[in-house]
Amino acid sequence: MACLADDGNRVVGVDVSISKVNLINAGSPSIVEKDVDGLIKKGWEAGNIEATDNYKTALRDADVSIICVGTPNNKSGHLDLTRIHAVAQDIGEALAESDRFHVVLIRSTVVPGTNEKVGTTIEERSGKKRRVDFEVVSNPEFLREGTAVQDFYNPPVTVIGTSSNRAFEIAKSVYRKVDAPVRKTSIAVAETIKLVNNSFHALKVTFANEVGSICKQLGIDSHEVMDLFCQDRKLNLSACYLKPGFAYGGSCLPKDLRALRLIAHDNYVDTPVINAIEPSNKYQKQRLVDMITETGIKKIGILGFSFKPGTDDLRESPIVEIAEILLGKGYDLKVHDKNVHLSNLIGRNKQYVNEKIPHLEKIITDDLDEVINNCDLIIVANKEEQYADLPSRYPGKDIIDLVRIEGGFETSRGRYQGFCW
């Protein structure tokens, strides 16, 4: 309310708490929050702020209503959406008496599917049609207590989830004075992002604390370790490794994770999050085996065999493990990887292959067409350029995509499955 009024909007606050209503109507904030008191007083004096417990009065001339009621956990841990649906009923009753197009913004943290239920409730209560008389937009907030005003004006992105261009433009205009990119998304994405954000923040806090526990036990300055960690904005604090895909592998990640986990174990430090990483990664491999098994297809082609594109390193490559499992189950396999030449493999790389798949020379080839034409199901395991147009070049071929080929789903006429999408 404070920020929107300061931007020149006329804002009416609605609350069941009369004490909150009275405070706002006296030009005083109902919470302790930096800079809010001055903005509330300024907006009230300018005539841009008032409050009421009568939702029909508040919505009579409103273009936009913003739902920001609490959604606490219930006893089972689920979000309690009771207040969301109660407000939706109120909005529906109020819109029954209005002839103007109205946009409802859901700012509260909700679960996917809430937007649709809110829209249905408003339709039932108002007798109006969604997308004709009103629209419900998912517009999650990312404000932190203590810095809410600063965060309002400096968000990394403003998320507006809707399929309606008209509603998008109206919602966008609400934040016209906020200097931040606006991202139009699907409703489901907008409903999910807040939950993902906060879960990741919780993960970061827990990971840093586990590192701190290990360091303390070893007499190492954990803050210096994590300060150095945070200086790497190319990999550590970046979008790297944060795209859904297949399991990690290679000569570094598995080895060093095990080393850190065992250092903690040997020094009697409990690290549940760090301990859970490897089992979770193993589960991703099992998911792929299950997906392949469920197709009922026995002739499998694997495109990309090293643990990532642009290398011939097969050590702890997760797709090598998958091949080993499939061969053990009697599947007929063909493998293509332009970077892997058996005659050039040496040292630990060669030893690893000999241990896992000693007869690799019988199933690997540098002829891509041979693999495609002789197999009924294709697993795309590396993001090599020559695989980019695979679905359109080989129409009708069944594909399981581990790397997200651009446009794979749209161009494939066979059964296309993305691994995590």
Listing DSSP states for 266-323 in one string gives HTT---HHHHHHHHHHHHHHHHHHHHHHHHT--EEEEE--SSSTT----TT-HHHHHH
Strands of 364-365's sheet, edge to edge? Answer: 364-365, 332-336, 299-303, 377-380, 398-401, 416-418
* 218 contacts 267 by C-beta, under 8 angstroms: yes
The 10 Å CB-count burial string (b at 16+, else e) for 16-39 is eeeebbebbeeeebbeebebbeeb
pLDDT of residue 408: 67
The 10 Å CB-count burial string (b at 16+, else e) for 4-15 is bbbbebebbbbb
pLDDT of residue 92: 97
Q: Which of 230, 240, 252, 420 is catalytic?
A: 252
Spell out the domains of the chain, with CATH numbers in brackets: 2-195 (3.40.50.720), 280-418 (3.40.50.720)
Residues forming beta bridges with residue 31, ordered by sequence position? none
CA Rg, the chain, in Å? 28
How do the pLDDT tens digits run along the chain, 421 residues long? Answer: 999 999 999 999 999 999 999 999 999 999 999 999 999 999 999 999 999 999 999 999 999 999 999 999 999 999 999 999 999 999 999 999 999 999 999 999 999 999 999 999 999 999 999 999 999 999 999 999 999 999 999 999 999 999 999 999 999 999 999 989 999 999 999 999 999 999 999 999 999 999 999 999 999 999 999 999 999 999 999 999 999 999 999 889 999 999 999 999 999 999 999 999 999 999 999 999 999 999 999 999 999 988 888 777 788 889 999 999 999 999 999 999 888 876 566 677 777 777 888 888 888 888 999 999 999 999 999 988 889 888 888 878 899 999 998 776 666 656 889 999 8
- Distance separating alpha carbons of residues 132 and 149, to the nearest angstrom: 34
pLDDT of residue 306: 84
| Burial (0-12, 13-18, 19+ Cβ within 10 Å), 139 | buried
Ranges of beta strands (E only) in 42-133 are: 49-52, 64-67, 102-106
Residues forming beta bridges with residue 417, ordered by sequence position? 400
pLDDT of residue 216: 97
Residues in the chain: 421
* 122 contacts 84 by C-beta, under 8 angstroms: no
Is 68 noted as a catalytic residue in this protein?
no
